[in-house]
Structure 1
Amino acid sequence: MLDEQETIGNRIRRARLRLGMPQADLAAAVGRTQGWVSKVEAGRIELDRAGVINQLASALHCHPNDLIERPYIAENSSENQWQISAAAILRELRRYDLAPVFDGPPRASRELWRDTEQLHRLRDEAASTAILGMLPDLLRESRALAEVSTGREREEAFSLYAVCCKFAHTAAHALGHPELVAMACERASWAAARSGDAVLPAVADWMRVWDMWATADWSDAIALSDKALRSIEEPNQAGDPLAVRAWGSLHLRAAVSAARAGDAQQVEDRVAEARRAAQRMEPLRRTTFDRHSLTFSLGNVQIHAVSVQLEMGDHAKALLLNERADPQHVSALPKSRRGHHHMDLARAWLWDGNRDRALADLETAERIAPQLVRNHPIARATLRKIVYAERATTRERLRRMSDRFRLDG
């Protein structure tokens, strides 16, 4: 892992040379100096902001995972077994418009929805490999139900299929499988259009916004968020809990997109709109089944408010907002969200020069959501910065002590 920073720099250099692109051109494309690009390629600058990695990948016409070498290959082969499940899911998604291969009659939709409750629990635990393990059979059965049923039951089957695609999409993002990310998003849109669910197509667009970040298409991501918001404006105003939840989630997506575009005012406006939605949602949150699997609450708005400040490079404001956040709302979040939050705090403390606090928050993040954190490129970049800084400090202390002992003489 300690060699990753240099390896990433070499990969960026090779991608640039493959295009015949001078360093100055790459620097101009990402709004940096040639010296900055030179240091990145030499492994002297750690890439610890997702937006910057995505900008580099877009300028180099490749996927961000090509630069940071995801998915990571674990030394323990059992930790790589999730790729078997991912391949099985891809097979199901590729044959989406063919007659499903399923033995016997499929269960009713109400029973299949009960199965998704386990997926929700696994999502909250950030157990991505377990999610992938459940999905091939559930995708196959929901597709079989759509094939043999009619009316509302058929629409529910397509809703189930779309939601399963969303679970696949989330897990594939966490583990770094771009092919599964892209195909799950496409199939979710296809099924949502057939679901009879007025909000589900907007949820599929919410997924697409996430994918647009990979190519640094910030303005398109905002435009798509707004398109999805317009599609659910009426049920949101009517107070439909699922629409309110989607409304707030889409504004948070737009806030992240605006932060990466450097639009501070839009960030503030979007977070404020999401906060209003969360306040409307709060009395209904515990009594409304989240069939769309959108983690949205006041706590989620609070941690996004911190995250978007880091996306804009303002760690001081991020730490201030974290101090002001209601700890009860944050502690009520699922482990997947709290793990992300502590990763963000680790970055903020590191940028603030406090390596001890940074390491403590990174350890907390790993304890809360180990699979998520160990596979997250930003967590790995933060840990590398801490390690390199500690090494440099130790070398300097040893050099001074060596001088006092006159070991060179």
Structure 2
Amino acid sequence: MDDTTGVGQRVAALRKLLGLKQHQLATAAHMSMSLVKKVEAGHAPASPAFTAACAKALGVEVTALTGQPYEELTVDTGQDRAGIPELRRALDSHEDPRLDGPVWDTARLRAALDEGEALRRRSRYTLMTERLPLLLQHLYANLNEASGTTATEEAHTLLHDAYSLVAAATYLFGYLDLTSLARDRMGHAARRSGDPLRVAVARFSRSTLQLFRGDYDLGMRNVDRALALAGEQGTPEALSVVAQLHLRQAIFEARRGNGRDADSHVDEARDIVSRGVPVAPYFQFASNRANVEIHSVAVPVEMLDGTTAVARAERTHLPLDDLGEDATRIGHHHIDVARAWVLHGNREKALQSLHTARAISPQQTRYHPAVRETLHAIAAADRRATDSLAGFARWAGVKV
């Protein structure tokens, strides 16, 4: 199977290879047999929860079912991810940085990091990835120079933010071994930064992979510890972190099938941001009303309740001044809305939402597993592929 194959086809192939019947897989994955049948036949998109549960039941990594990192994507020709090999080498040189010139000073390092976060928010992942290797070399050299001085905490603070950017880029492109490494190093840097809130932020970041892999109990305990740590601080920045952590718990609860608890976490976050807190005290944070409503839509999508998700989405009008230039977050929302329309049975609206996501955040849309599953579901429901569907699928490297 190449990377244009859907999750359902991969699940069916691996299930048969292991000699399992559909009902046996359904039992092992704690899913209904009807859902397994629909996904394998391509009549229903594989949700992240379904994919993670099947991966556990089949004894494989989730990426064995999603096909990431889509190395065979012909539409890419390597350009989107051209910076990944050099980024991998830079991460390996953390104890032995190599520079041809003097180490950048703290102000220049901070400016470069802020530029990287701005690129992430605008969904400019290729350019961000290309810039990260040199930045990491300077940060490693800066840490070496600061060792044993009062500047050590600042050096670790800068590294914490750099690893946040590395994690974002590698997660989007599907190189999850590098994502895991970056998030481990985030935690290491956070504990040496002198800022307890960064430890909570690192735990939040780590929970992303736990969510992806379906390690819900572990992930929720991790977020609970982060909530306790942030709650002890009592600052406006801490409240902002708490709001973001409640939104993460909402998605965990939704994937576990606990809609009421998920909505309660969304309500907690809504109450916090209504009081006025710093929107983005740390990279990849958005503790504001728009992000709360985005998560309000995401909860029923994760629970496969398209009707509720569509109704909430139609009541949600994203104010761009609230989200700033966060194309990544807005694009992800439209990917979720596309999933909702598929679940609701409106393939035309689903495709429209995907086109909107592509216009706002093209790289994220091309590499997001949910987009590929949505395209497979649209095509399976109507084999008379429209020019619009066929063109979008070619752009995304998906066979329909």
Structure 1 length normalisation: TM-score? 0.86
Match of 2:359 among 347, 353, 367: 367
The alpha carbon displacement at 1:89 in A equals 2.3
Q: Where in structure 2 are the equivalents of 1:5-404 lying within 5 Å?
A: 8-34=7-33, 36-41=35-40, 43-72=41-70, 73-76=72-75, 78=77, 80-96=78-94, 98-149=95-146, 150-235=148-233, 237-239=234-236, 241=237, 243-282=238-277, 284-285=278-279, 290-328=281-319, 332-333=323-324, 334-391=326-383
The alpha carbon displacement at 1:260 in A equals 0.3
Could you say if the C-alpha distance between residues 379 and 66 of structure 1 is closer, same or farther in structure 2, counting changes exceeding 3 Å?
A: same
- Contact 2:300–2:309 (8 Å) recurs in 1: yes
Letter in 1 for 2:242: W
* Ranges in structure 1 where 5+ consecutive residues have no aligned partner: 395-409
Distance 1:152 1:299 in 2: 39
**SS of 2:232 mapped into structure 1:** helix
Q: How many residues are aligned here?
A: 383
Could you say if the C-alpha distance between residues 375 and 146 of structure 1 is closer, same or farther in structure 2, counting changes exceeding 3 Å?
A: same
Could you say if the C-alpha distance between residues 233 and 194 of structure 1 is closer, same or farther in structure 2, counting changes exceeding 3 Å?
A: same
- Contact 1:2–1:384 (8 Å) recurs in 2: no
Rg larger in structure: 1
Could you say if the C-alpha distance between residues 12 and 354 of structure 1 is closer, same or farther in structure 2, counting changes exceeding 3 Å?
A: closer
Could you say if the C-alpha distance between residues 335 and 9 of structure 1 is closer, same or farther in structure 2, counting changes exceeding 3 Å?
A: same
The alpha carbon displacement at 1:2 in A equals 12
The alpha carbon displacement at 1:123 in A equals 0.8
**SS of 1:181 mapped into structure 2:** helix
Distance 1:232 1:151 in 2: 27
- Contact 2:210–2:218 (8 Å) recurs in 1: yes
The alpha carbon displacement at 1:330 in A equals 8.0
Moved more, 8-17 or 190-199: 8-17
**SS of 2:319 mapped into structure 1:** helix
* Ranges in structure 2 where 5+ consecutive residues have no aligned partner: 387-400
Distance 2:33 2:350 in 1: 30
The alpha carbon displacement at 1:169 in A equals 0.9
Distance 2:52 2:378 in 1: 23
- Contact 2:157–2:190 (8 Å) recurs in 1: yes
Letter in 1 for 2:331: G
- Contact 1:306–1:318 (8 Å) recurs in 2: yes
Could you say if the C-alpha distance between residues 68 and 292 of structure 1 is closer, same or farther in structure 2, counting changes exceeding 3 Å?
A: closer
Question: 2:392 maps to what in 1?
Answer: none
- Contact 1:225–1:250 (8 Å) recurs in 2: yes
**SS of 2:275 mapped into structure 1:** helix
Coordinate RMSD, CA, aligned: 2.5
Aligned-pair identity (%): 31
Letter in 1 for 2:211: W
Distance 1:32 1:357 in 2: 28
Letter in 2 for 1:192: A
**SS of 1:45 mapped into structure 2:** coil
Distance 2:321 2:17 in 1: 45
Could you say if the C-alpha distance between residues 84 and 312 of structure 1 is closer, same or farther in structure 2, counting changes exceeding 3 Å?
A: same
**SS of 1:301 mapped into structure 2:** helix
Could you say if the C-alpha distance between residues 363 and 47 of structure 1 is closer, same or farther in structure 2, counting changes exceeding 3 Å?
A: same
**SS of 1:391 mapped into structure 2:** coil
